[in-house]
Structure 1
């Protein structure tokens, strides 16, 4: 394939898709990363799609330098595999990655809610309440993007007494796991009214200064999501890492536990 053919293929791929909007030259790599990340998470760039930095630079009308940085960030999130020839390929869902990722989240976020429980400021309580309200409103309108934004912000408040370094790690893992949440939503449109109550129960435990209850609630919340996604993409596969993490936090292996009543409702984006 010639360079012209490759570019024409990418133009065809991106022809019907939104192009990135660059607000400032210094933000080019970040905004290209955010744009490609959104296309991947929304399934507009499905697993196996090949992305070449040189052709993308021409399609997006930017230099290759911000493309290299955007590819690096996408690779760190596990969204693409990149090689030395500056090509990337959108990755598929990976059970081993999911298992390890959610085990790490359970360990860190259980610690995070423990150290945060009873220590929220009035402003932080108001912020968390606002995020819950935004999640409910986004659910009512079916706005998945807005729901995910409010969801990330809400979970961040629950662990906000962690040190900045740990908080950055927790945030990074949460962002990396978003593709699994979206896969869950795609397979179960409408999804799980009881998950909304889990968020309210978590918030109540953190506000009330109940660290042990908060840790158990966040553990069950995350383990349930991991188990359900694994059941969808690889039925029968074990989740040993999640199991070890739940034993450490709760003294009980929840990796094979029933995911509960997952009957979908008419609409919604809860996970």
Structure 2
């Protein structure tokens, strides 16, 4: 197997007397969908914050493409091609899909206009159209406030934005939690599209049937420890539940 695009070894994080993570290992490979699962309190949120630069571990190491790295902020992680789509999406509701796609990455016009902060909206729109087309994202309009779009379309814009500025890994926290069946199917297809571009996707989810449907591999946390790193093939919902609650399952025999 290839070198992990992002790997964590021996990650520990304590909050006073609470051991949120203890010697946790994690890895994700280029062009795969890796599900990060665990019961409430297993440490998923803490690990995700560390891997995306929002928190620092007490001990352990991180590497990108096999090279040691230190993330001291989300911006630092983004510089290494790592981004996160949180449940609240972090979109500006009054701005258009194009403006949201370039939020924090605005393109300025050349010359004096650019020095005065004038945006090159033509260039931004053209690149947005290209990005949405590349990922198969179909929006009702690129010119309306994003608050007027459906939940699935807003989620699609957030994912497309992360894919545009993250060249290696995207963390997605419960990306279909508030969506209906049709919108969920569209978002899952978009996640596959992102994976097929070579970007690794880490899916944090409590929806086990969905994990089985879309993930290539699963990493399981239990009580702040790593208990499994294995392909999703041949696993069942009962296996995933058993891994989260007891740290083992029948499918682990011989693995």
Quickly name the TM-score band, shorter chain normalised.
Answer: under 0.3
Report which of the two has the higher share of strand: 2
Q: What is the TM-score when the length of structure 2 is the normalising length? A: 0.26
Report which of the two has the higher share of helix: 1
Higher relative contact order (CA 8 A, sep 6+): 2
